[in-house]
Structures are given as C-alpha cells and as structure tokens.
Structure 1
Amino acid sequence: MENEEAALSSNPNPNLLVADPSLQKKRQSMLDRLSNRHQTRLDNSLTRRSAEFDSSSSPSFESTSTFLSHFSNSKSSIESQLAQCQLCDPTQVKSYLDQISSSIFDLEKLVAENSYFLPSYEVRSSLKTTSDLRQSLEFLSAKLLPKKKFSFRNKPTRKDPIAEPKEEEKEQEPEKKSGFQVPDSPGFWNKKGEILVHNFKGSEVGEFSISDLDSCEVRLMGSVRALFIHRLRNCRLYTGPVTGSVLVDGVEGCVFVMASHQIRIHNAKMSDFYLRVRSRPIIEDSCGVRFAPYCLTYKGIEEELREANLDEETEKWSNVDDFLWLRAVQSPNWSVLPENERLGLVDISRSV
C-alpha cells in the first residue's frame, strides 16, 4: 500500500490521473489517509503536552517522600503553635486551642486521604504522631483552661431507667482507657434503651462524643468534623458524613453505619460496620467484626456527602488493616458481611 501511495504521489504525468477516474479516486483516497495520519500525530502531541502540564501544575502526594516532607512540615508547625499558645493572651487561649485542634484534624485528614499508597508502617507512624499531637493539645487545654465541675456517673449495675442522668448532667470528666481519649465535647452520655437523635445542620459542633450507651439507637444527620465512640453495648448508630476521623473503642454487639475519611476501631467484638471511607479502616484488639458498604439515606444526605468528598464509593470498606495481625494471610479477626445478612437501605428521615 505504501509503495502504491508513493507511486501515486510522485506520478510524473498528472494528465493521466485526470484521464483515468480510477487513478484519480485512488489518489484522493491516498491524500485523505495522509491527512488523517498527520492530524492524529498532532492530536497525540497535544495530549502528551497537556498531560505534562497537568502533572506539573497539580502537585500530588502519591510519593512517600513527598508526603513525609509535607507531613513533617505540618507537624513542626503544630508543635510551634502548641509552644506559642502558652505565651498568648489568656482571653484568647480558647480560640487559639480551637485553631490548633483544626490543624491537627487537617493533618489527620491528610493521612486518611493519602493512606491508600503509603506503606503500612508509614500509616501507623503518621497516625501515632497525630495521636500524640492530640494528646499534647488535651494536656495543654487542661493546664490553660479552668476545669469544669463534674461528677462520675458510671453505674452500669443500675436498672432503674427513671434514675438515669438528665441531659444537663451528661458532661463528665474525660476518661482515658486503653489509650483512648474521650474528649469533653457535646454528645450523648450514659443512656440506656433510648432513641437519640441529633442534627448537625446549622450548628458549629466540631467534635461529638458518644459514650457509655446500652441498647440505644443513635441517629446523627448533617456533617461533623470528628466522632468519638466509647463503650457501647447492643447499640445501633447511623451517621451522615464525618469530614475527619471516627474513633471507636470498647463496643460489643453493635451495628454501625458510618461515612468518614478515616475510621479506627479498637477493642470491638461481634459488631457490624457498614462504611463509606476514604482510607483503609483500621482495627486493633478486635474480633468477630464484619464489614459491608454504607447503606444510609435521609433528606439532603447526597449533597452532604458530596461536600465532604464522600459521595463516591471507594470500596475501601472491604480493605481492612488489622494492625496486630502481621501475617501475610487473611486476619481471622474480621470478615466481609455476607450479602444475604446485610441491612437494606436505612432511611432515618422519618425519625425526625
């Protein structure tokens, strides 16, 4: 074919082409093919240049060294803020601590969004760093801010529902157990056999805590920055998007339907997790936990998930990291929930 094209393009007798319609048709076909080839080469060239431009103008952390450098700079900045906070005006301490808390959450979110390509060791190390920063912030808050009055109300043997704490009595001293820090934040505390509903729409709640519940159902709508879950038994929890992290500790016989950038689960037993998550879920000291995809709906949830960058299913819910299982084979502590045992779509709009 190429020899024929060369012959037609270099034909010394143009009058022959005009006189012979078949040759004229072949020549035109040849010219069209040459033109198409040339345009294809131009298009490919433009595509390569565009890709090179996009990659150079849109920095990515899909490189361990680049991520670690950025992470280290952010860590140093937060440590500097913690040191400076002790020297700031006492009237501005609360605001300054809130800013530091926001910076730590941004760092946690950075780890969550990039954990899919980081080695497991680097993920663990980064998570421990953010945990240490959070603990330093909590110690500093306790030192610089006046302590609130509190009373301990841990009486799990009490069976009289009338004697349960009132709403205004739900705040208590933050408690530390198994390395898990429960913050002194808005939330649900010390409840049994109740349906607990909260809507974050229009509120300024950054952190929300759920602690010491027995046989309760919790329905959270709207977006919150962080969720802390501690000591739940035989409970069901449904929540909209969490833009930062969910920390779960000490739960048994529960069902969780949650969407978050990062989810860490510690000391969980015989519980099911229906997740939409941007990074691999992490379990520690847990057994009998099962995982399935997110299955919650209520009015406005699609927009909230989109704003929280949680609108797309990443399939990360089934890619669980068991930090205490170091063998190459599947961890026996978790499994994928069989489809015939999963919940259907749960609509909590009617509960409001």
Structure 2
Amino acid sequence: MDATEEISQENAFYDRDGAAKIHNRIQKRQQALAEDAERRKDAKKSQSVGEEKSEYFLRTFNAERAGIQELLTGCSGADRPVVTQKLEEATAKMTQLQKFLNDSVIFLSQYEIRVAQSALQKLQTSLSETREEALPKKKFAFRSRTKAAEVSDCPPPPETAGSGVTKLDGAAVSKQADFSNISDEYLTKTSEELQNRDVLLTHLTNCKVRLYGSPSTLHLKHINACEILCGPVATSVFVDHCSNSILAFPCQQMRTHNTTDTQVYLHVTSRAIIEDCLGVSFAPFCWSYPTLDQDFSASGLDRDRNNWSQVDDFNWLAAGTPSPNWTVIPEEDRKTTWDP
C-alpha cells in the first residue's frame, strides 16, 4: 500500500468517526428536546390539575357557605325548636367547612386560603349574631347552692309566667341553673335541678363542681383551677376563658375558646372544636355516678359513638400536621378516681 492509499483510508476512518459523533450529538439533542417537552407537558398537566382542584374547592366552598347562610336566614321568625335545630345544623356544617378548607390548603394559594378563612370568620360572626337574636340569653336569678332535698321546706314557688319562666317580684326570670362568683367551695346540683335546663357556671375559682343529671346545655365562662364534672348534656357545651382546670362531660358537641392548660375528659358524638386555645388535652369520659345510665337515656346521646380524640382547631390550617395547641392525655396520666 502506497502513502496515497494509506492517507485515503485514514481520511475515510475520520469521516466515519466524525459522522458517528455528529449522529450521537443529534440523538442527544433530540432526547433532551423530548425530555424538555415532557417536563413542560407534565408541568402544564400539574397546573391544570391544580387549577381544577382549586375551581372544585371554590365551587364547593361557596355552595356550602350559601347553604349555611340559608339556614341562618331561616331562623328569622321561626319557633324556638326549629331555630335550635337550624343553628345546630349550621354549626355542624361550619365544622365540616373548616375541615374542608384545612384539607385543601395543600393546593390552594395563600390568597385563596386568606379569602376562605375570612369568609369563614364572617360566617361565624353571622352565626353568633343569629344565635343571640333568635335565642337571646335568658336572665337568671342567683339560687341557693344547697341540694333540692335541703330546701324541701321552702315556701311554694312564685307564680309561673309560662314556657319555663317564673315571675319574681313582677319580673320574668328563667329557670336556668347556675353558679356564679364563687371561690373555694364544693358545689352540686341534683338531677331535678338540672333536667332539660341551661346551666351556666361563671367566674368560679378553685371549686369542685358535681352536676348530677342531664342539662340541655352547659356554659362555662371564666373558670380557673376548678374540677367540673357533669352528666350527659343533651346538646352543646360551650367553654370560654378556662384555665388550669379539669372538665368531664358527655355532650353532642363542644366548642372551646380562650382556654389554656385544661384537661377535658370527653364523650362527644360530633366533634370537639377549639379556637384561641393552648395546652388543652383530651381523654375519654370516665366519671360515673349511680344514675348515669338513666341520664344518658334522657339526653338521647349515643353511648357507642365517642369522638373524644377528633378535635378541630380553627387556628391551625396545616393539613396533615397535628395542631400544637391540643394533645391526648397519656393513659398512665389519666385521672381515674374522682371522689373520696
């Protein structure tokens, strides 16, 4: 082979090698373009799915909000039992709507979350205003702190004004059972004093309270360092400004505001709601007294349904992350002995 042929073959080799390199570069470029196109496609699909979820949330949220507002509007001029039923239904729907928002924050924008939360707060204000207007709090008179058996020799009751209201010195007052502005005492109410009544405990400090019976509702306000045990509450328990206390009761629903460092031994057939609370802990209801079974029957509560550990925190929107404002009481730390 002469030099000319050798050079020709060498050139042919380099031509083939160059062509192969060019071909490889083209393939890599095409692959990169295809991968980039796929990424754009996936991003567009993800954005589309997010937009669809957001649109679904807005449609559902607005429809549910309108339904709650319709319930509140229907309270105007309605009879008390109808109003009570509508308000309970509206409260339950509010809880569900808050949970729906909590579960949806993962794909909502911060703006959408703020708008929805603002709408919920306005709806809650409307609910409270409707409750105050349609079911105004009854006036009440302070009553003796003794048991009914200890006042059997009292004079006959004042004349009745109808609908569970009595007249006292010409003024109408409710038959609401209450304790108010008391410190360092052991307080009790009997079943006869509580049955189907609204119970208000307010401004109590370092008291032990035992409520034997089935009241209609239970309101606890400004409670400090107290131990309050109550029989089955037919509807709702409302707790506000409670601190360093132990509470125990069965109920249909529980709403707690502005409460700190408080243990709740709970039987609740819907869900417990907390708002502006810190250091609240929960365990299942375990207090017992001789007529508890009868009081459960009178209340209409389902003894087999207890959602004591399902707590909704209206101040906590992080879906999938537990609220730091409440905990479950460890079994070894739960109170089991209540009375000497």
Residue 77 of structure 1 corresponds to which residue in structure 2? 74
- Answer whether contact 1:112 1:278 (CA < 8 A) is retained: no
Deviation readout 1:236-260 (Å, 9 max, x if unpaired): 0000111111110111110000111
Residue 279 of structure 1 corresponds to which residue in structure 2? 270
What residue ranges of structure 2 are gaps of 5+ in the alignment?
Answer: 1-59, 103-119, 147-173
Is residue 326 from structure 1 mapped to residue 317 from structure 2 by the alignment? yes
SS in 1 for 2:233: strand
TM-score normalised to the size of structure 1?
Answer: 0.57
Deviation readout 1:124-172 (Å, 9 max, x if unpaired): 6775544221222366x79xxxx8999xxxxxxxxxxxxxx9869xxxx
Match for 1:196 among 174, 187, 192?
Answer: 187
Residue 120 of structure 1 corresponds to which residue in structure 2? 99
Letter in 2 for 1:337: I
Letter in 1 for 2:89: L
Q: Give, in whole Å, the separation in 2 of the partners of 1:223 and 1:64.
A: 36
Residue 109 of structure 1 corresponds to which residue in structure 2? 88
Deviation at 1:114, TM superposition (A): 6.6
- Answer whether contact 1:297 1:345 (CA < 8 A) is retained: no
What residue ranges of structure 1 are gaps of 5+ in the alignment?
Answer: 1-62, 82-98, 151-164, 169-182
- Answer whether contact 2:209 2:227 (CA < 8 A) is retained: yes
Change beyond 3 A, Cα 1:292–1:148? closer
Deviation at 1:306, TM superposition (A): 3.4
Count, aligned residues: 235
- Answer whether contact 1:302 1:311 (CA < 8 A) is retained: no
Match for 1:290 among 263, 270, 281?
Answer: 281
Change beyond 3 A, Cα 1:269–1:104? same
Change beyond 3 A, Cα 1:257–1:202? closer
Change beyond 3 A, Cα 1:260–1:314? same
Residue 91 of structure 1 corresponds to which residue in structure 2? none
TM-score normalised to the size of structure 2?
Answer: 0.58
Change beyond 3 A, Cα 1:306–1:118? farther
**Bigger mean CA deviation after superposition, 274-283 or 102-111:** 102-111
- Answer whether contact 2:209 2:228 (CA < 8 A) is retained: yes
Deviation at 1:330, TM superposition (A): 1.1
SS in 1 for 2:317: coil
Letter in 2 for 1:318: S
Deviation at 1:225, TM superposition (A): 1.1
- Matches of residues 20-39 of structure 1 in structure 2 within 5 Å? none
Q: Percent same amino acid among aligned pairs?
A: 27
SS in 2 for 1:331: coil
